[in-house]
Amino acid sequence: MRTLSTLEPSGADVNRWRREQLVLSGFSFPLADRVARDARYDLHRLIELVEQGCPPDLAVRILAPLEPREAA
């Protein structure tokens, strides 16, 4: 029997999917990889900005998180 935890994608799978979506939307692979790893970015807003003609690097700057990452 599969439990909910086995049905949820792992963090690596989520990051890979986010990166793929960004690359398909016109982000360079290095930029997409960096942004995909940071869950503070709103993926849908980034893609919307790019679809409206905003360059990907500028979209990332516009939607950059204000708070620093928490130390692990």
CA dihedral 34→40→44→49, nearest 10 degrees, is -70
Higher pLDDT, 61 or 6: 61
The pLDDT of residue 70: 67
What pLDDT, on the 0 to 100 scale, is given for residue 12? Answer: 84
What integer pLDDT is reported at residue 11 of this predicted model?
Answer: 76
Residues 31-69 pLDDT 10s: 999 999 999 999 999 999 999 999 999 999 999 998 776
Residue 8 has pLDDT above 60, yes or no: no
Contact 41, 65 (CB under 8 A): yes
3-state DSSP call for residue 25? coil
How would residue 27 be classed by pLDDT, with cut points 50, 70 and 90? very high
